[in-house]
């Protein structure tokens, strides 16, 4: 089932869009994907943060705000661990659901392989728009290299983010993450991790990830609201590979 424009659609339903709908022609939608812990109001779900980010993007783009009560009703109507809220430029809303990746626990413990994509910028990187062709295409290419994630670069070959999340590096007893001003998504999980590390007295270095910075990392990882925090055990960059030990001595941010 899915929720669309104020109505819960029964299983097996399809969605009809006009051939001139900007969502179809240009990917003119905004979305956020949240993992629900017990309820929308559970502190780990971060419902308010997701809604605030959508509101900020709607205002920046000058789009029509949806009926927020209907958005919440739709999110509550879907019985899935992961729910995606999609907003159309004219105020329509859609909510779909899916389950957690079946191998998530293995990824969190054993890490993944990431492939560094050629330097191309995501469209409107500070907003989570429906035009996600570049990250999707990078993930397809990463799979041909045996990787589960792609790392996106800017024109200076600075590492920015992964196709689905924010990057983290560990060095000198602290965590590092690329700064928002480099043109990355202000991830909800990223924001949550920074808050928790700061509350524990651990500073987070928000600096551009150039070659010198990357070379010092003892470990790297990526985060998003669905997978939480996943180590990257190997990075493939051109014809080179770098391996990162999954050391238990490195304190990983927790989501509890």
For residue 83, the model assigns a pLDDT of: 98
Segment 4-22, tens digit of pLDDT: 999 999 988 999 999 999 9
49: Cα within 13 Å, side-chain hemisphere? 17
Q: pLDDT over 90 for what percent of the chain?
A: 85
93 DSSP β-pair partners: 87
Q: 104-243: same fold as 2-98?
A: no
8: Cα within 13 Å, side-chain hemisphere? 12
Q: Rounded to whole angstroms, how far apart are CA atoms 116 and 112?
A: 13
For residue 123, the model assigns a pLDDT of: 82
For residue 254, the model assigns a pLDDT of: 64
Q: pLDDT over 70 for what percent of the chain?
A: 96
For residue 32, the model assigns a pLDDT of: 98
Q: Rounded to whole angstroms, how far apart are CA atoms 204 and 170?
A: 10
| Domain covering 2-98: architecture | 2-Layer Sandwich (3.30)
Segment 229-252, tens digit of pLDDT: 999 999 999 999 999 987 655 556
Segment 188-225, tens digit of pLDDT: 999 999 999 988 888 899 999 999 999 999 999 999 99
In the structure, what pLDDT confidence band is assigned to residue 62 with cuts at 50, 70 and 90? very high
Global pTM value: 0.92
For residue 255, the model assigns a pLDDT of: 58
Domain boundaries, the chain: 2-98, 104-243
104-243 fold: D-amino Acid Aminotransferase; Chain A, domain 2 (3.20.10)
Cα–Cα nearest to 254, from 228, 231, 233, 232:
228
Cα–Cα nearest to 36, from 86, 77, 89, 94:
77
Taking each helix axis from N to C end, the angle separating 188-199 and 47-61, rounded to the nearest 10 degrees, works out to 130
Segment 104-155, tens digit of pLDDT: 999 999 999 999 998 777 788 899 999 999 999 999 999 999 999 999 999 8
């Amino acid at each position: 089932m899915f929720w669309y424009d104020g109505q819960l659609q029964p299983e097996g339903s399809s969605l009809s869009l006009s051939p001139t709908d900007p969502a179809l022609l240009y990917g003119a939608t905004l979305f956020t994907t949240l993992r629900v812990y017990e309820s929308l109001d559970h502190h780990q779900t971060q419902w308010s943060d997701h809604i605030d980010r959508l509101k900020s993007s709607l205002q920046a783009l000058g789009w029509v705000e949806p009926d927020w009560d209907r958005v919440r009703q739709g999110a509550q109507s879907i019985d899935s661990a992961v729910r995606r809220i999609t907003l159309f430029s004219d105020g329509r809303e859609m909510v779909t659901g899916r389950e957690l990746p079946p191998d998530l626990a293995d990824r969190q413990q054993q890490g993944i392989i990431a492939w560094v994509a050629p330097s191309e910028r995501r469209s409107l990187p500070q907003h989570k728009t429906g035009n996600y062709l570049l990250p999707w295409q990078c993930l397809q290419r990463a799979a041909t290299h045996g990787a589960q994630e792609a790392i996106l670069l800017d024109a200076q070959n600075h590492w920015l983010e992964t196709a689905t999340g924010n990057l983290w590096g560990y060095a000198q007893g602290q965590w590092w993450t690329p700064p928002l001003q480099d043109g990355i998504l202000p991830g909800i999980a990223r924001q949550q991790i920074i808050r928790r590390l700061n509350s524990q007295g651990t500073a987070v270095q928000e600096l551009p990830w150039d070659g010198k910075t990357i070379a010092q990392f003892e470990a790297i990882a990526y985060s998003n609201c669905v997978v939480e925090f996943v180590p990257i055990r190997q990075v493939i960059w051109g014809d080179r590979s770098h391996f990162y030990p999954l050391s238990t001595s490195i304190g990983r941010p927790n989501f509890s």
